[in-house]
């Protein structure tokens, strides 16, 4: 929901799905076992990252949405505004991680094929250049955040960028997310300590180019 385009109270309620029958957000199942990405990402990290960190975003998002629904019903604009950071942070955390799990695969690694590879060569010169650029952007995130490969629909091209904290790519930049790399310390510290570049070197071995390619194809339709 864009705060630049004011909506009526009725439209806001409809857009947020704040009806009595709205389904609560739930933690998605991983498409592989916690240990499936070893040795590149340990089972302990995956267990904590998914069942604790992602689950916390889901739970807090549900709480924030419930409070927002109450604020809407009361016409309490101050409360609605005060809840925006929680909605953005926890909603972004849920969106980002839901994409992240599918971007990874025990059968990943290598290079993409077909249309995605052609687009990467067109927009970055080569796969190697793209890999270096996304790695550098991800290493350069100060504090916590994400490195992203996104699709700019207006320009019809791929872009690499970073988002801080749990800011969702599409909601804050307009780019459609294709590949996200989590560089919060909880994504790697237990295995790689404070050496983020080693984690970023390893994660390329488990990138699911099949998933990234499917996202690219879908966003072009």
Predicted TM-score (pTM) of the model is 0.88
pLDDT (average), residues 165-184: 97
pLDDT value at position 23?
83
Residues 123-143 have pLDDT tens digits of: 999 999 999 999 999 999 999
pLDDT value at position 50?
98
pLDDT value at position 105?
98
Residues 57-76 have pLDDT tens digits of: 999 999 999 999 999 999 99
pLDDT value at position 52?
98
pLDDT value at position 207?
98
Tell whether residue 182 is among the known ligand binding residues. Answer: yes
Token pair of 1, please?
Answer: 């929901």
Q: What CA–CA distance (Å, rounded) separates 175 from 15?
A: 20
| DSSP letter string, 73-132 | HHT-HHHHHHHHHHHHHHHHHHHHHHHHHHHB-TT--S---HHHHHHHHHHHSSHHHHHH
Give which of 97, 99, 110 is closest to 219, Cα–Cα: 99
Q: What CA–CA distance (Å, rounded) separates 68 from 80?
A: 6
Binned at pLDDT 50, 70 and 90, residue 22 comes out as low
More confident residue, 11 or 142: 142
Position 221 pLDDT exceeds 50: yes
Position 11 pLDDT exceeds 80: no
| CB contact set of 129 (below 8 Å; sequence gap of 6+) | none
Q: Could you report how far apart the first and last alpha carbons of the chain are, in Å?
A: 22
Residues 71-98 have pLDDT tens digits of: 999 999 999 999 999 999 999 999 999 9
pLDDT value at position 220?
83
Position 178 pLDDT exceeds 50: yes
Q: What CA–CA distance (Å, rounded) separates 183 from 142?
A: 10
Position 188 pLDDT exceeds 70: yes
Share of the chain above pLDDT 70, in %: 90
């Amino acid at each position: 929901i864009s705060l630049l385009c004011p909506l009526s109270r009725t439209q806001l309620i409809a857009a947020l799905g704040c009806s009595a029958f709205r389904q609560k957000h739930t933690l998605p199942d991983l498409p592989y076992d916690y240990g499936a990405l070893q040795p590149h990402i340990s089972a302990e990290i995956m267990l904590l990252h998914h069942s604790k960190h992602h689950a916390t975003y889901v739970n807090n998002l549900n709480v924030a949405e419930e409070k927002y629904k109450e604020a809407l019903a009361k016409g309490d604009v101050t409360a609605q505004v005060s809840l925006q950071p929680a909605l953005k942070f926890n909603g972004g955390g849920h969106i980002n991680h839901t994409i992240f799990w599918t971007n990874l695969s025990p059968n990943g690694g290598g290079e993409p094929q077909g249309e995605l590879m052609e687009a990467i060569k067109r927009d970055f010169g080569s796969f190697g250049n793209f890999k270096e650029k996304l790695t550098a952007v991800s290493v350069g995130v100060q504090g916590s955040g994400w490195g992203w490969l996104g699709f700019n629909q207006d320009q019809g091209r791929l872009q690499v960028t970073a988002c801080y904290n749990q800011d969702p790519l599409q909601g804050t930049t307009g780019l459609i997310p294709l590949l996200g790399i989590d560089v919060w310390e909880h994504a790697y510290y237990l295995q790689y300590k404070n050496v983020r570049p080693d984690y970023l070197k390893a994660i390329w071995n488990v990138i699911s180019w099949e998933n990234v390619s499917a996202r690219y194809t879908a966003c072009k339709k």
